[in-house]
Structure 1
Amino acid sequence: MLRRAFAFPNPVNEYAARSTAGIIVVVSLAALAVGLATGWGWSLWAIALGFWLRVAGGPRYSPAGRLAVHVIVPALGRRRLVAGPPKRFAQTIGAVLSTAAAVLWTVGAGPVAWTLLGLLIVAASLEAFAGFCLGCWIFGRLQAAGVIPEGVCEACNNIALRRG
């Protein structure tokens, strides 16, 4: 039962992932603007929490993920299935970056925190607007190098299992 509670969807609708990334871009740009104008950065903790919730269970626990899956994507009416493990890996990178930014802001290293948030905005923008998942690309390179075992994502390394 616990395993099911923390299961990540596989496959994932690419349009849901892109929509979630778009939400993250908007929220992160707002946090960056407010942070640079006022120095207030508590929203970094909310961004980090959102990433950790998506790592834990995909869109199930994440407000941004739920909005993307249940509102935005149905309105778009589009579906393209892609492998889940690389998307979870990408969410984990976002979780680590956003948590590092939140911690750094909390200890007084605001400029470094805002730089990390800027990197996150770039990566999320690539996903949302260009359909390029940087975390998925890194996942593929790590799998090709043998760092991530082939069994983690069979569809990732077997071209016959990929869906167009």
Structure 2
Amino acid sequence: MSRSLPSFLTFPNPVNDYAARSTAGLVILLAIVAIVVDHPVVYALLALGFLLRVMAGPRYSPFGQLSVRVIAPKIWRKTKLVPGPPKRFAQTIGLAFSGSALILSLLGLGLAAQIVVGALIVAAALEFAFGLCLGCIAFGFLQRHGVIPETVCEACNNLSWRTPAEQTAA
């Protein structure tokens, strides 16, 4: 029996890579605020943003909406479609990191929370500046090694450092 998510919880596929990069830039800004303020509420906002994006992409996420509706079309003015499942996986990793930071902060371990969010900033900065999605790379690795079934994302079977044109030719 095949189970599927309700339509209001679907993640877009494909995804505009420039919108994803824009969201990463916004995450960097909020993550810096989280480190500076070092308060559970800010870590909670960071984690909530990731949760909303994991659930339904940009649909319920203020950062996602801003990226899709304003930043990508008006600032980047480009569209580059990439598979959605690796981006959702990357958002899930972001949720794990930001959720861990929230828990650490609630436990009074502010420095540990700041370090975890610092790692999140590094990953988001790579995405924002270079389009290098560490979560997507991990997704491709796990898929190539059979941890994630090929049926999850048939277009992803060849995710690597190659360009989209090279991936199509392979």
TM-score after normalising by structure 2: 0.89
Q: Residues 73, 96 of structure 1: CA spacing in aligned structure 2 closer, same or farther, 3 A cutoff?
A: same
Equivalent-residue separation in structure 1 for 2:138 and 2:101 (angstroms):
21
Aligned to 2:168: none
Kindly state the Cα deviation for residue 33 of structure 1 after the two structures are TM-superposed. 1.7
From the two aligned structures, give the one with the greater helix fraction. 1
> How many residues in Structure 1 have an aligned counterpart in Structure 2?
158
* Matches for 1:41-80 after TM superposition, within 5 Å: 41-75=40-74, 76-80=76-80
Deviations 1:38-85 (A, max 9, x none): xx3420000000000000000000000000000001102200000000
- Higher mean C-alpha displacement, 107-116 vs 91-100: 107-116
Q: Deviations over 1:94-141 (max 9, x none)?
A: 001100100110011111111110010000001001110000000000
Q: Which 4+ residue blocks in structure 1 deviate beyond 3 angstroms? A: none
Q: 1:158 to 1:120 in 2, by over 3 A?
A: closer
> Take 2:110 and 2:36, find their aligned partners in 1: how far apart are those partners?
13
Q: Find the aligned partners of 1:73 and 1:88 in 2 and give their Cα distance.
A: 18
Q: Does the 8 Å contact 1:81/1:163 carry over to 2? A: no
Q: Distance in 1 between matches of 2:103 and 2:44?
A: 8
Q: Which runs of 5+ in 1 are unaligned?
A: none
- 1:29 and 2:28 aligned: no
What is the letter of the counterpart of residue 106 of structure 1? L
Does 1:108 find its partner at 2:130?
no
Task: Quote the sequence identity (%).
Answer: 53
Partner of 1:138: 138
User: In the alignment, is residue 155 of structure 1 matched against residue 155 of structure 2?
Assistant: yes
Residue 20 of structure 2 is aligned to residue 17 of structure 1: yes
What is the aligned partner in structure 1 of residue 82 from structure 2? 82
Which secondary structure state, in structure 2, belongs to the residue aligned with residue 140 of structure 1?
Answer: helix
CA distance in 2, matches of 1:92, 1:138: 12
**Which SS does the other structure have where 1:114 is aligned?**
helix
Cα deviation, residue 34, structure 1: 2.1
**C-alpha distance in 2 between matches for 1:31 and 1:2:** 32
Distance 2:89 2:16 in 1: 15
CA contact (8 A) 2:101 2:116 kept: yes
Long gaps (5+) in structure 2: 166-170
Tell me the distance in 1 between the aligned counterparts of 2:97 and 2:158.
Answer: 30
